[in-house]
């Protein structure tokens, strides 16, 4: 199918919000992602787990074009990701990302961190952007820190601000790249609670994480990746209680 056919065949309302077809990626000579096929429906919550180097972070970073794929197609919200910068920016407006190391902007206040995207990308007027920002800050239970700078907050608080920052862009999909891996156990809970709230409100989420408790309670699908391939994917119940693949069994025995 050529590009125009794809764009008319998949409409955001009915078809999958993210479609990855036979995607391959190389870092130089190293074949990091191999024949990835994935369809994500609206409001679906997918947890991706696997050992280090399996390509899980690379996969989700391909979805908002932080990494480029060399073969295959990635279609997000009806737009195919190619080298066309306009398509890339269109996709990035609809896809929010939360990073392992928060990546807040240290020279701006928390409020400015949140309003930056809406004001400059969506051209929202400043007052409206600030109201939305305060609303999301209250949602992640951190409204009182609005005038502080990221360096003055703890890790868990910074990650919640990062989540609120992505939400201010009102994305259709949220990508989470090991959001709690850099946090200590108490802070992990406060961030996971926010993510669970988000999931229960119907946000489409792709989460790369080692937090299996989160997967069991909230995920629609759990995907196991190893060596650049999707080895197994299933509903949480079937995935954890009845793993099919030997590699999955080995991984689960070590992590649970």
Partner 1 sequence: MSAPATTPTREYLKPPVTEVGVIGWLHANLFNSWFNSILTIVMLLVLWQLVPPFFSWAFIDSVWNSPAEACRDIDGACWSVIPQNISFIVFGFFPDGQQWRPGIAMLLLIALVIYSKDRKHWKKSLGVYWLVGLIVMGTLMYGGVFGMPVVETDQWSGLPLTFMLALFGMVAAYPLGVMLALGRRSKMPAIKTLCVIYIEMIRGVPLISLLFMSSVMFPLFLPEGVTIDKVLRAQVAIIMFTAAYIAEVVRGGLQAMPRGQFEAADSLGLNYNQTMRLIILPQALKIVIPPSLGILLSAFKDTSLVVIIALYDVLKTTKVTLSNPKWTGYSTEAYIALAIFYFICCYAMSSYSRKLEKALHTGR
Residue 160: DSSP 8-state: H
Annotate each residue in 40-79 with x if it binds partner 1 (CB under 8 A) or - if it does not, as one string: ------------------------xxx-------------
Q: CA 255: distance to chain centroid?
A: 22
Q: Which among 48-56, 73-81, 102-110, 246-254 is the span making contact with partner 1, rule CB under 8 A? A: 102-110
- Measured from the CB atom, the residue of 99 and 136 that comes closer to partner 1 is 99
Name the one range near partner 1 by CB under 8 A: 29-37, 103-111, 183-191, 216-224: 103-111
Per CB under 8 A, 229 contacts partner 1: no
Q: In the complex, what is the shortest distance from the CB of residue 248 to partner 1, in angstroms, rounded to a whole number?
A: 30
Query: Should residue 120 be labelled a site residue for partner 1 when binding is judged by CB under 8 A?
Result: yes
Q: Which of 99, 96, 139 is nearest to 118 (CA)?
A: 96
DSSP string, 161-193: HHHHHHHHT--SEEEEESTTTTS-HHHHHHHHH
Closest CB 252 distance from partner 1, rounded Å = 31
Within 45-108, residue ranges assigned H as helices are 56-63, 85-94
Kindly state the number of chain residues that form the binding site for partner 1, as judged by CB under 8 A.
29
Closest CA to 139 of 71, 190, 105, 180: 190
Residue of 36, 100, 104 whose CA lies nearest to 72: 36
Nearer to partner 1 by Cβ, of 67 and 197: the residue is 67
Strand partners, 221: 46
Q: Which is nearer to partner 1, 32 or 230 (CB)?
A: 32
Measured CA to CA, the distance from residue 205 to residue 219 in angstroms comes to 9
Residue in 6, 7, 39, 116 binding partner 1, rule: CB under 8 A: 116
Helix spans in the chain (H): 3-9, 56-63, 85-94, 110-120, 126-139, 155-168, 185-200, 212-218, 236-241, 246-255
Considering the complex, what minimum distance in angstroms separates the CB of residue 200 from partner 1? 24
Q: Is residue 152 involved in binding partner 1 (CB under 8 A)?
A: yes
Between 176 and 239, name the residue whose CB sits nearer to partner 1.
Answer: 176
Note the residues at the interface with partner 1 (CB under 8 A). Answer: 64-66, 85, 89, 92-93, 95-97, 99, 101, 103-107, 116-117, 120-121, 148-152, 165-166, 169
């Amino acid at each position: 199918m050529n590009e125009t056919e794809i764009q008319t065949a998949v409409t955001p309302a009915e078809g999958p919000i993210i479609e990855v077809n036979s995607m391959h990626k190389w870092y130089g000579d190293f074949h990091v992602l191999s024949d990835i096929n994935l369809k994500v429906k609206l409001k679906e919550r997918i947890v991706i787990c696997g050992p280090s180097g399996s390509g899980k972070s690379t996969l989700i970073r391909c979805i908002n074009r932080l990494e480029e794929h060399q073969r295959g197609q990635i279609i997000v919200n009806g737009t195919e990701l190619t080298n066309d910068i306009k398509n890339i920016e269109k996709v990035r407006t609809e896809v929010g990302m939360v990073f392992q190391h928060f990546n807040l902007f240290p020279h701006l206040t928390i409020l400015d961190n949140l309003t930056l995207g809406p004001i400059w990308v969506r051209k929202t007027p400043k007052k409206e952007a600030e109201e939305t920002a305060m609303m999301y800050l209250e949602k992640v239970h951190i409204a009182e820190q609005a005038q502080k700078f990221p360096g003055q907050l703890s890790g868990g608080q910074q990650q919640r601000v990062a989540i609120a920052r992505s939400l201010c862009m009102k994305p259709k999909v949220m990508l989470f790249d090991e959001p709690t891996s850099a946090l200590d156990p108490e802070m992990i809970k406060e961030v996971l609670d926010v993510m669970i709230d988000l999931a229960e409100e119907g946000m489409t989420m792709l989460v790369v994480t080692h937090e299996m408790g989160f997967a069991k309670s909230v995920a629609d699908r759990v995907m196991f990746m190893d060596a650049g391939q999707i080895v197994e994917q299933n509903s949480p119940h079937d995935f954890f209680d009845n793993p099919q693949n030997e590699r999955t069994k080995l991984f689960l025995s070590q992590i649970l």
